[in-house]
Every structure is written in C-alpha cells, then in structure tokens.
C-alpha cells in the first residue's frame, strides 16, 4: 500500500519515517514525557528514544526569531549600593 501511495504522489516514504513522525508527535504532547515515548516506541534504551529529540530547523529558526524580536527588559536600578568617590579615584586615577 505504501509503495502504491509513493508511486502516486512521487514520494519515498517508508515505515520508519512513520515511526519518526509518531515519536515527534509524542514529544510535542505536553502530557507525555520521554519515558512514555520510550514505551510506545518499544525502545530498550532511553538513549535510542532521545535521539529523536533533535530539533527541526524550522523550530530553531522560530525560537531564534522570537528571541531577537522579544522586547528587551528595562535595566533595574542598583539599590543599596554606593561608592566612595575617593576609592574610585584611587582605582581609576585622578584627583
């Protein structure tokens, strides 16, 4: 069946691609964790499941874009800190 679909739409999808899609969708569900995904995927080692955690390029681009378009927080004024002008003059030089 998959071969017929591939031939019809000009794709090259295999069953393993569907496993990758399933695992990505499990990760995207906030109600599931890595152990849950491991059980569904029937991986013996958690490291095998964690290999699927690599972010997609479009996700990385979206996060970086969000970072650079987010408003910068206003600097907080220093409170409770003062300096002696004489100490500063000793460190930096001057009268």
pLDDT tens column, 17-54? 899 999 999 999 999 999 999 999 999 999 999 988 88
pLDDT at 32: 95
- What are the C-alpha distances in Å from 49 to residues 10, 25, 36, 95? 30, 13, 10, 66
Report the percentage of the chain scoring pLDDT > 70: 98
What residue spans define the domains of the chain? Answer: 16-54
| Max intra-chain CA distance, the chain | 87
Q: Are 86 and 92 a contacting pair, CB within 8 Å?
A: no
User: What six digits make up the tokens of 15?
Assistant: 């069953």
Three-state DSSP class for 82?
coil
- When pLDDT is cut at 50, 70 and 90, the band that residue 65 belongs to is very high
Q: Which residue has the higher pLDDT, 4 or 94?
A: 4
- When pLDDT is cut at 50, 70 and 90, the band that residue 95 belongs to is low
Q: Are 28 and 2 a contacting pair, CB within 8 Å?
A: no
């Amino acid at each position: 069946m998959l071969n017929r679909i591939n031939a019809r739409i000009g794709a090259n999808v295999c069953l393993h691609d569907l496993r990758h899609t399933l695992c990505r969708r499990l990760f995207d569900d906030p109600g599931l964790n890595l152990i849950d995904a491991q059980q569904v995927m029937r991986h013996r080692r958690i490291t095998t499941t964690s290999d699927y955690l690599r972010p997609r390029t479009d996700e990385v681009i979206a996060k970086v874009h969000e970072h650079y378009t987010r408003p910068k927080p206003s600097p907080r004024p220093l409170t409770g800190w003062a300096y002696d002008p004489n100490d500063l003059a000793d460190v930096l030089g001057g009268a």
